[in-house]
Amino acid sequence: MKGGPNSFNEKQTGLGLRPDNRRCLTVILLLSSFIVFLTFARAQTGAPPEYELKVAWLKSLLEEVEWPSHGLPSRTDAFTIGVLGKNNFGDSITVLGEKTVKGRRIVIKYVEEPSECHECQVVFVSASEKERLPQILETLKRTPVLTVGEIPGFAEKGGIVNLIVRGNGIRTEINHLAAQRSGFTFSSRLLQNIKVKLVGS
């Protein structure tokens, strides 16, 4: 893994760990938090494992994305996650309502039309919306709404993040051009330590 602006230098850290070991420890801690959150979600909701995994991954993703300043609500307002189309999450996604992101409480909003999504910070586009995906992505293009999908080809068609289940894990696809157009940036930690496929549109 090549170093970058946030890479560790050659000196040992304050914990007495070599740089490579410190990086491994960071990944282990991230994965541990992910597993704990996933276990909690399963215990609380009994949702299908695929959607428990997507909820946990979505929570991790939110912590690694920076919104454009005009895309965030005020500190006193909620951070809104919209679910567009069929709600395959069941009650599992309500676990996010017990969390915060960017110092704001999270609320879940179930929407049926793309025009209802402009007040959301994140919109999860359900697989049920495959046929009208072009309309949805055109409506939300260049807006400060992070579009997250679960549809093959979602990122290639202009969605920002696509979550595809592969075996027991999630493959994350990011359309970096669509993200740039809407003013989003992703942390180097996400791009360096998690397997991400970058696509363009």
pLDDT in tens, 141-189: 999 999 999 999 999 999 999 998 887 788 888 998 999 999 999 988 7
Mean pLDDT calculated for residue range 25-49: 49
**Alpha helical stretches, state H, the chain:** 19-45, 49-62, 133-140, 176-182, 188-193
pLDDT of residue 41 exceeding 60, the answer is no
Q: Which domains does the chain have, with CATH numbers?
A: 19-199 (3.40.50)
pTM: 0.74
Rounded to whole angstroms, the Cα distance separating 198 from 201 reads 10
Window from 15-24, 96-105, 127-136, 145-154 with minimum mean pLDDT: 15-24
Cα Rg of the chain, angstroms: 17
Model pLDDT for residues 84-95, shown as the tens digit of each residue: 999 999 989 999
Q: State the DSSP H helix or E strand holding residue 105, giving kind and residue range, or none if neither.
A: strand 104-111
Q: Look at residue 195 in the predicted model and tell me its pLDDT.
A: 56
pLDDT of residue 111 exceeding 90, the answer is yes
CB 110 within 8 A of CB 116: no
